[in-house]
Structure 1
Amino acid sequence: MSWGAEQPGESGQSGESGQEGYAYGYGYGYGEQPQPYVQGYPRQYDQGYVQPYRETVQPVQPVQYEQPWQYVPEEPEGVSTTASLTPVRAEPPDPVPEEPEQEAEPPPKPKAGGRDRYFDALRAVALVRVVAYHTFGWAWAGLVFPSMGVMFALAGTLMAKSLERPALKVVWSRMRRLLPPFWFWGFFVVVAMLIHDWMPGWQIVFWIVPVGDPPGNHWGVQAWEILWYLRTYLWFVLLSPLLLWIFRKAPIPVLLLSLVPIVVFQYGWTPPWNRFGSAITDLATYLFCWLVGFAHREGVLQRLRPPPVVLAALAALAYGGWYAFSHQGEFGTYDLDEIPLAQAFWSAGFVTLLMYFKAYRDVDFGWLARFKRLDRIVTIFNGRAVTIYLWHEIALVLAVPLIDQFWKVPAFEKWLPLESQWFMFGIGWVLIWIAIPLFGWVEDVAAKKKPKLLP
């Protein structure tokens, strides 16, 4: 996931579906995975003008002298004078001119610790949408906001930025920031599954480096099935030096051709139903999103004119939406998480519009700084993105037995909407906010920072 500018996915910088996989038991299925600050322009001032001279005839008035003679200094050279001593009319002193009122200067553009609040806001929305999807199971949620495509696009642009440094150091940094929080979380999940009669084989190595889907038993499936995203993200990190090198050779052709693999998988060769097939299917599904992040960072999007970009994005959205709804009989739903081809094209069109809007308008959501609490929430979401993603499913699982205890209290049973999924959604977020200070410090340790309860 896009874990923060120097976090795994960096800004620091989510998975869904009530069913497993694409019909096989790995990867894609369950997992699922801000008014722009208008830059000020120089203030324009009205240019002054000289009022035309109007000659008027004034009646002759006798000259009055307060003093018969006043000494007038000689004028500078080149200016004609009639005499050094000349009668002058004593004029009353000019009033002291009032200084014009100075317009209040606009407040300085808020700083956000060097972070781009537009990206931060998108990441926070994506995380909220993931938790909502896993609570309610809305099939239409991916159409409203394809959070995983957005997360991969954000991670792509941050990865391209980081690769301005030596590639091996960047890849190692990303892995170092991702794996310790994963190990810490995985320890609790693995121990719980062992207690519930899980007998692991050699595949347990994927709980150390998740280049393939880690194994588990049915008891813990809701917790570990979201790991398809971490696996896909890790593969993109490992491949990014090569992908960026290829992308720079021919940015636009490479970006467009990145949708070809998922088309081939749908209409030609079908990947096997195993860890290998699941991994390459997810890579193909979100390859365009990762590369459009490259395009933003490399300045490719900024050089494109709006009409072709918007038309291409709308065409991708139209095809993805059409395919999802026209193949409900084949997949049993129009949920994009169950239809890789539809997910790929819908996400491609959606993130293209989001990233191009950022590039074309240069928005940064600096206005968030005026809303302290909202700005603080966005900061916490980005500083603890890995923690929120990993622990949110466990929070939702624990919400069920906790709500069961509420039924034993007559007042709660009468006055609280214990049967409502919205109530479970709220309890889930309470548990997530408890997990953030309890477990989020692991992200600080992984990033070689001083551990904090909140970022």
Structure 2
Amino acid sequence: MGAHSRTAAVPVTRPSRPGPAGRDRYFDTLRALALIRVVTYHTFGWAWCGLVFPSMGVMFALAGTLMAKSLQRPAPKVLRSRLRRLLPPFWFWGFFVVLAMLVHGWMPGRQIVYWVVPLGDPPGDAWGEQAWEILWYLRTYLWFVLLSPLLLRVFRLAPVPVLLLSLAPVLVLAFVWSGPDGRLGSALWDLSTYLFCWLLGFAHRDGVLRRAGPVPVAVLSLAALGYGAWYAFGHQAEFGTYDLDENPLAQAFWSAGFVTPLMWAKARFRIDLAGLTRFRRLDRAVTVFNARAVTVYLWHEIALVLAVPLIDRLWDVPAFETYLPLDSQWFLFGVGWVLIAFFVLACGWVEDVAARAKPTLLPGGRAARMGG
């Protein structure tokens, strides 16, 4: 387009290079930070990571606003599209995980059906637990997607009351009824923990946050943060830590208080971080994280698991043993990211196929930047 529209008589100022069509760099950056935080937490296990950046709350809020946008189309079509984008990468990853567990002696039962559609936690053995334990997020996301047509209808009946009352289920589970055992109970807890964040995405999309004043947003956010922090630190003896991942009630309120200002600021000030495109490598990294979000999330634990025996082999090389910090968690972190990059290159194309797009080795190349 640009080269053909220029004439000698009418000078044209070249605009800054746009990001991928239809993408919001503010949301893309938050999603990239959330994924980095997830990998960091699973490497170092720092309990304070969730307080600094509650990545799951952020990711559910972003997914909620995108779901509300998508539901401008017929709901069955949207649900099919979401399932098509999610399940093939999950099946591809699950094939290798299930095969590895079978080789190591795992005997599956009827619950193996959850490896086809993860409406419940897929079964597995202790050997592969570090790989499959992260699937609670995909299961919760899938349920939110399936429930979204109903949730959006209820939300639009009374947006502010419904949003505020969305924290009630986790309070009920914490203080009144702890829910059923097994898969159903786990699903109810996770849905209740992140329901507010998902509906906050609806509130952003429908303009509810844009109309909210700064004072009530600040007061309610600080109240939620305060209660979440108090409950996390005040119940360390019960949970053994102040880690939000071990304390659903604290997670729900801290995430609500943290994510609300992020979404409100986006809506109120229309932050788009378009200037990020001036930093080519950083912009490309954000593009890759977003185009390969499912790949990074699914494969990062396997990358960290494989990094350990790989580093063990490096101890056999005297020069590496002398000059490399092989016993450092930071070195593990670095090797983990190298392996994550490998999985992005080797397996990320499945996300393109699932999206019915042309498979690419690494997203965000010249053709993508030019809108090709």
Q: TM-score, normalised by structure 1?
A: 0.76
> 1:58-137 counterparts in 2 under 5 A?
108=15, 110-112=17-19, 113-137=21-45
User: CA distance change for structure 1 residues 105 and 357 in 2, over 3 Å: closer, same or farther?
Assistant: farther
Q: Report the 3-state secondary structure (helix = DSSP H, G, I; strand = E; otherwise coil) of the residue aligned with 1:396.
A: helix
Residue 197 (str. 1) matches residue 105 (str. 2) = yes
2:88 maps to what in 1? 180
Alpha-carbon contact 1:110-1:367 (below 8 Å) kept: no
Q: Distance in 2 between matches of 1:314 and 1:154?
A: 21
The equivalent residue for 1:313 is: 221
In 2 relative to 1, CA 187–129 (structure 1 residues): closer, same or farther, beyond 3 Å? same
1:360 lines up with 2:280 in the alignment: no
Q: Distance in 1 between matches of 2:22 and 2:86?
A: 22
Shift in alpha-carbon separation, 1:349–1:106, aligned structure 2, 3 A:
farther
Alignment pair present for 1:425 and 2:329:
no
Per-residue deviation, 1:111: 2.3
Q: 1:110, CA displacement in angstroms?
A: 4.7
Match of 2:190? Answer: 282
Instruction: Name the residue aligned to 1:52.
Output: none
Which residue is 1:222 aligned to? 130
* Residue 153 of structure 1: aligned partner: 61
Residue of structure 1 aligned with 2:307, choices 399, 406, 410: 399
* Residue type at the aligned position of 1:282: D
Give per-residue Cα distances to partners, 1:415-439, cap 9 Å, x unaligned: 0000000000000000000111100
Cα 1:369–1:421 change in 2 (3 A) is same
Q: For the residues of structure 2 that align with 1:151 and 1:106, how far apart are their CA atoms?
A: 37
In the other structure, the counterpart of 1:376 is 284
How far is the alpha carbon of 1:333 from its aligned partner?
A: 0.3
Match of 1:446 among 350, 354, 359: 354
Q: Which of 111, 118, 141 is the equivalent residue of 1:210? A: 118
Q: Distance in 1 between matches of 2:81 and 2:317?
A: 50
Say yes or no: does 1:167 pair with 2:75: yes
Quote how far apart the aligned CAs of 1:109 are: 5.6
Structure 2 match to 1:27: none
Q: Give, in whole Å, the separation in 1 of the partners of 2:355 and 2:26.
A: 23
Alignment-mate amino acid for residue 281 of structure 2 = R
The 1-side partners of 2:51 and 2:133 are apart by 22
SS class of match (1:408): coil
Partner of 2:5: none
Tell me: CA distance 1:129–1:250, structure 2 relative to 1, closer, same or farther (3 Å). same
Runs of 4+ in 1 over 2 A off after TM superposition: 104-111
CA separation of 1:106 and 1:139: change in aligned 2, threshold 3 A: farther
**Residue 299 (structure 1) aligns with:** 207
Identity %: 72
- Whole-Å separation in 2 of the counterparts to 1:415 and 1:452: 37
For 2:17 and 2:244, locate their aligned partners in 1 and report how far apart those are by CA, in whole Å.
Answer: 38
On the 8 A contact 2:16/2:278 being kept in 1, the answer is no
Write the distance in 2 (CA, Å) between the matches of 1:438 and 1:378.
Answer: 19
Question: 1:142 touches 1:336 (CA, 8 Å); kept in 2?
Answer: yes
Distance 1:317 1:107 in 2: 45
For 1:105 and 1:127, the matched residues in 2 are separated by 39
For 1:270, what is the secondary structure of its paired residue? coil
Counterpart residue identity of residue 337, structure 1? D
Deviation at 1:450, TM superposition (A): 1.1
1:1-80 aligned within 5 A: none
CA distance in 2, matches of 1:110, 1:399: 37
CA distance in 2, matches of 1:369, 1:245: 37
Q: Does the Cα contact within 8 Å between 1:317 and 1:350 map onto a contact in 2? A: yes
Equivalent residue for 2:6? Answer: none
Secondary structure at 1:400's aligned position in 2? Answer: helix
What is the DSSP-based 3-state SS (H/G/I as helix, E as strand, rest coil) of the residue aligned with 1:292? helix
Measured against aligned partners, the alpha-carbon deviations of 1:163-194 in whole angstroms (never above 9, x if no partner) come to 00000000110000000000000000000000
Q: 1:402 to 1:292 in 2, by over 3 A?
A: same
Would you say the 8 A contact 1:110–1:366 is kept in 2? no
Q: Equivalent residue for 2:369? A: none
Read off the aligned partner of 2:139 and give its amino acid letter: R
Answer whether contact 2:16 2:277 (CA < 8 A) is retained. Answer: no
| CA deviation map 1:216-263 (0-9, x unaligned) | 000000000000000000000000000000000000000000000000
Q: Is the 8 A contact 1:384 1:440 kept in 2?
A: yes
For 1:135, what is the secondary structure of its paired residue?
Answer: helix
Aligned to 2:322: 414
Equivalents in 2 of 1:230, 1:331: separation in Å? 24
Alpha-carbon distance, 1:445 to partner: 0.5
Letter in 2 for 1:322: W
What amino acid does structure 2 have at the position aligned with 1:120?
D
**SS of the residue 1:269 aligns to:** coil
Amino acid at match of 2:241: T
> Rg larger in 1 or in 2?
1
DSSP-derived class of the 2:359 partner: coil
Pairwise CA RMSD: 1.2
The one-letter amino acid paired with 2:18 is K
Question: Which letter maps to 1:143?
Answer: L
Q: Which letter maps to 1:270?
A: S
Q: Does 1:331 align with 2:239?
A: yes
Find the residue that maps to 1:198 and give its secondary structure. coil
Query: Which structure 1 residue ranges, 5 or more long, are not aligned?
Result: 1-103
Alignment partners' CA distance in 2, 1:416 and 1:270: 49
Q: Work out whether residues 43 and 329 of structure 2, in 8 Å CA contact, stay in contact via their aligned partners in 1.
A: yes
